[in-house]
Structure 1
């Protein structure tokens, strides 16, 4: 029941970020500036995701409550989806794009308002020795939510359903799991698991805490790699692989990625409880870097799909230990929501690079030979490799303490 909200959120963001946003942006601004405007859209959303979770998390810690924040955040999120649906179905041109941006800002505000207090429930309620296992459960539900999102996108594209259907489906699949979580978590959910007692650290002290600092840095690097590629997959399918129906072909590619991630999600989490988090990260990052580079030279769409499965295996292994690694690094039970909100920033802040990455994509492609994709995918591989190298600095004591 705790993980249900993460399932709905995964469906929500996959269908919205990877399918609807790229397609809607092209309709608003045309082909020539699609990368730039999509990057701007993700940038303005990321600004909210950067600032809000730590602030809301700190307030949640002071009140000792989580559920009211989740409830209000989901409500604002749904309102934002309604504004985006109105803009996508009723407006055109750059003016319509900015109304669409307004709706997206509401979506980002609501979702991030709920995320920090929700994230605090994981280290708060899950025993340390079981965090790898349940991080794997979180990763599995995330992958299944993403898989259903990709399948939904494929069916919607195949049947040529109106865009309003997509927004209504996103709203429903976000709301129902959220209600399950809200019903399953007590209104005054308190710290059942007190594993990291101590005073609340200042921001400077938090980043001086070595486990947290290096977990934060490496998560930033993996997210940078992800957001160097993820927003532009639909354009890659059209421009590099020559797919006429790029929305449908992207959906199939996402299904391949997610199937690979499901295969490794539960296994990676359980393995990490026995051998530690870092060995799983080493393998996962190496596989993702290799797949990103190989996509540049994929001779055909079927080969690209096979590489997508390989990338998914690495991504699933990474996400299976992601929550566990973050939870292990939390220094104090008195500030779980604030610190998990700050940790969440490491994932969302790299979305801001989608704006310069989108501009780089357009600039490179304007020079011919799909140079833009070579630059962007190559940068992604470097980020993944840097994450693999630097995760070695995460003190092993963090995991030993969790396993004790």
Structure 2
């Protein structure tokens, strides 16, 4: 029997500490620093084109790299060296981006900036693919809800701290290098906590020692998607992500056009803060409840709250009501995130390919981001016909995605938990 199967799981806060730093890193980088930096390189007229191209480049790396690195990690039986090297490359990329903004300018500086961003994307995805395997590999199924809840809460707190830091950066007019240094520090310190506080997992037991499905050889990608628990968890995660990205990119426009806010940017920041606070409140509770009553009941409730909030935003009588609905959405989102990770961990078919399979599952988070463009076109088409029809269509589609996710999660076989429970 493997050491991982008998040793006590590591401290949940140390195990998920890196998720906190990564969440802070991406919120400040993608939503605050990069939009402002791109303008300094290319000007106002082309900022959307260049920022969109950068985002597309990053999404391609996030789609392709995690399964490949995860498979490599599975073959070598190591997780933490990938985290160590990936964080190092990530930090180097942040330094190159800061250098490009501080010392260079124009098109030449922009391409150095792009190089830095590619290093950031490569390093972060190189680190997180094997890192994602630690919860399913080290934590028994009966405790995964609690551990996933801690992970979801730390991610939400990281995002909230990122939003607050963005306000401080703006108020204090910090130089660019100081902003990048802050991002680097908040990424590095939690990574060190995880590296020092989590032991390298033991290799899986030899085949035949336990005879469970979780000890079976790793499956090919075709076989992986033929594995019913994984297939349905993947599909439902795609649906929930589609719902999220049908609404999230357009909240600022909603606050301007539907809520009539004079400062839609500030209004959106407040709304996002409500969503994050709600998700922090529900993440730990949702994960713990799922360990007692099962994953599905929590997902049913969480998906219902998110679908209801998306629809009710269309008829909210004012901004205060919209904020309360944002809080409701956050409560559903936090509970869903914690339980969803546990459900995904339970559905992994083989202990011998955790990192690759979690990397494949990661695609379900990233690929739906590509739908923002057609949803934006639908929004404009509908609003051109008057009566905020575009928002009705886009928010209604989001609610439909959430409801489909709730319905289809019923297809995840209950026996998906059984192999992991013995791991």
CA gap of 1:202–1:226, structure 2 versus 1, over 3 A, is same
Alignment of 1:222-261 (within 5 A): 222-238=240-256, 240-243=258-261, 245-261=263-279
Q: What CA distance in whole angstroms lies between the structure 2 residues aligned with 1:163 and 1:230? A: 27
5+ residue gaps, structure 1, are none
Q: Which one of 336, 340, 350 corresponds to residue 368 of structure 2?
A: 350
Q: What CA distance in whole angstroms lies between the structure 2 residues aligned with 1:359 and 1:97? A: 28
CA contact (8 A) 1:18 1:234 kept: no
Q: What CA distance in whole angstroms lies between the structure 2 residues aligned with 1:334 and 1:69? A: 17
Deviation string, structure 1 residues 360-394 (Cα, Å, up to 9, x no partner): 55666677766554444333222222211211111
Aligned to 2:3: none
Q: What CA distance in whole angstroms lies between the structure 1 residues aligned with 2:123 and 2:39? A: 25
Alignment of 1:72-221 (within 5 A): 72-86=85-99, 100-186=113-199, 188-191=200-203, 196-221=214-239
CA contact (8 A) 2:305 2:329 kept: yes
State the shift of 1:68 in Å: 1.5
Aligned to 2:62: 49
**Greater Rg, structure 1 or structure 2?**
2
Aligned to 2:9: none
Aligned to 2:76: 63
CA contact (8 A) 1:42 1:354 kept: no
Q: Which segment drifts farther, 216-225 or 100-109? A: 100-109
Q: What CA distance in whole angstroms lies between the structure 1 residues aligned with 2:245 and 2:180? A: 23
Q: How many pairs does the alignment contain?
A: 403
Aligned to 2:302: 284
Aligned to 2:355: 337
Root-mean-square deviation (CA, aligned residues, Å) is 3.0
Q: Which segment drifts farther, 127-136 or 235-244? A: 235-244
Matched, 1:13 2:31: no
CA gap of 1:24–1:68, structure 2 versus 1, over 3 A, is same
Q: What CA distance in whole angstroms lies between the structure 2 residues aligned with 1:109 and 1:121? A: 20
Greater relative contact order (Cα < 8 A, sep 6+): 1
Q: Which segment drifts farther, 170-179 or 364-373? A: 364-373
Q: Which one of 373, 385, 388 corresponds to residue 403 of structure 2?
A: 385
Classify the secondary structure of the residue corresponding to 1:199: coil
Q: Which segment drifts farther, 188-197 or 288-297? A: 188-197
Q: What CA distance in whole angstroms lies between the structure 1 residues aligned with 2:179 and 2:313? A: 29
State the shift of 1:123 in Å: 1.0
Q: Which segment drifts farther, 120-129 or 346-355? A: 346-355
Q: Which one of 306, 309, 319 corresponds to residue 324 of structure 2?
A: 306
CA contact (8 A) 1:122 1:327 kept: yes
CA contact (8 A) 2:140 2:421 kept: no
Aligned to 2:4: none
State the shift of 1:86 in Å: 4.6
Deviation string, structure 1 residues 35-88 (Cα, Å, up to 9, x no partner): 666544332211111110010001011111111111121122223333444555
Deviation string, structure 1 residues 236-269 (Cα, Å, up to 9, x no partner): 4455545555554433222211111111111111
CA gap of 1:362–1:85, structure 2 versus 1, over 3 A, is farther
5+ residue gaps, structure 2, are 1-13
Classify the secondary structure of the residue corresponding to 1:229: helix
State the shift of 1:317 in Å: 0.7
Q: What CA distance in whole angstroms lies between the structure 1 residues aligned with 2:86 and 2:257? A: 37
CA contact (8 A) 1:129 1:403 kept: yes
